[in-house]
Amino acid sequence: MRAGRSAGGDSASDSAIGLAKGDASLPAHVAIIMDGNGRWAQQRGLPRIEGHRRGVDTVRMVCETSVRLGIETLTLYCLSSENWKRPQEELDFLMELLQRYLVEERQLIMDQGLRVRSIGRRDRLPAGVVAELDKTIELAAGNQGTRLVMAIDYGGRDELIQAFQKLGREIAAGRLTPDEIDEPRVSASLDTAGFSDPDLLIRTGGEMRVSNFLLWQISYTELWVTQRAWPEFSRQDYLAALRDYAGRNRRFGGI
């Protein structure tokens, strides 16, 4: 696992660091653990919620850059199933912020041609969030650009348990035998059915762990970690991660 420590602003052009739309060396699917919002705010004497607020600007930048470079799928870890342990005030703000994002960014989503999907549980989300999420997904259904996947109340272990339960029900109904369970069938039972596995996983905030994110899907995903917190993660940082990925040799267990 490499640690990225790029610096600088967002003025560099894509071509200046050797990246261009349609470049075969770019990842088709980028997944991001958007970490460090609260710590970033606290280090500056601000309430933790201010870090989440500032992080929305970074989401916008990453979406715009992914569209410009033709990234096929961008998966963002918005809320983990473990995040419910946080203070209620922070959780309430996160839900309000998410609902506001889905409304206020809707026109930008359409302008950029983003396709929107969500993965994770929905039964614990406020009704207003679910309604706005569904509205945005429906509105953007005809778009042809980057697929924006929002992982909300998502946990990799929970996803696997649900997949195994689904397969178990198929066995109980006589439509499937245990010997017929293979990797493609498990993949097709996950929330991410129909998506390619992530090629690159970016984690901001410096922590060296995957935090229950896409556990099945990241078996051979390239990892890139930066000390920068999500609110300060810049376009140049994102481009540096993509360029680093482009220079790697993925062997998938081979020589």
User: Which token pair is 58?
Assistant: 């970074």
Contact residues for 29 (Cβ-Cβ < 8 A; gap 6+): 71, 72, 73, 74, 75, 195, 196, 197, 198, 199, 200
37 as an active site residue: the answer is: no
Quote the tokens at residue 197.
């596995």
State the pLDDT at residue 253.
74
User: What is residue 78's DSSP assignment?
Assistant: E
83 part of the active site: yes
pLDDT tens, the chain, 255 aa long? 444 433 334 434 555 456 888 788 999 999 999 999 999 999 999 999 999 999 999 999 999 999 999 999 999 999 999 989 888 999 999 999 999 999 999 999 999 999 999 999 999 999 999 999 999 999 999 999 999 999 999 999 999 999 999 999 999 999 999 999 999 999 999 999 999 999 999 999 999 999 999 999 999 999 999 999 999 999 999 999 999 999 998 877 766
Domains of the chain, by residue range, sit at: 26-155+198-246
Instruction: Kindly report the length of the chain.
Output: 255
As a whole number of angstroms, the distance between CA 150 and CA 172 comes to 32
**How confident is the model at residue 8, as a pLDDT?**
39
Question: 26-155+198-246: what CATH class?
Answer: alpha beta
pLDDT of residue 6: 39
| Catalytic pick among 14, 83, 143, 197 | 83
Which is the catalytic residue, given 35, 153, 191, 199?
35
Q: Look at residue 5 in the predicted model and tell me its pLDDT.
A: 39
Could you tell me if residue 86 is left (phi over 0), alpha (psi between -120 and 50 degrees) or otherwise beta? Answer: beta
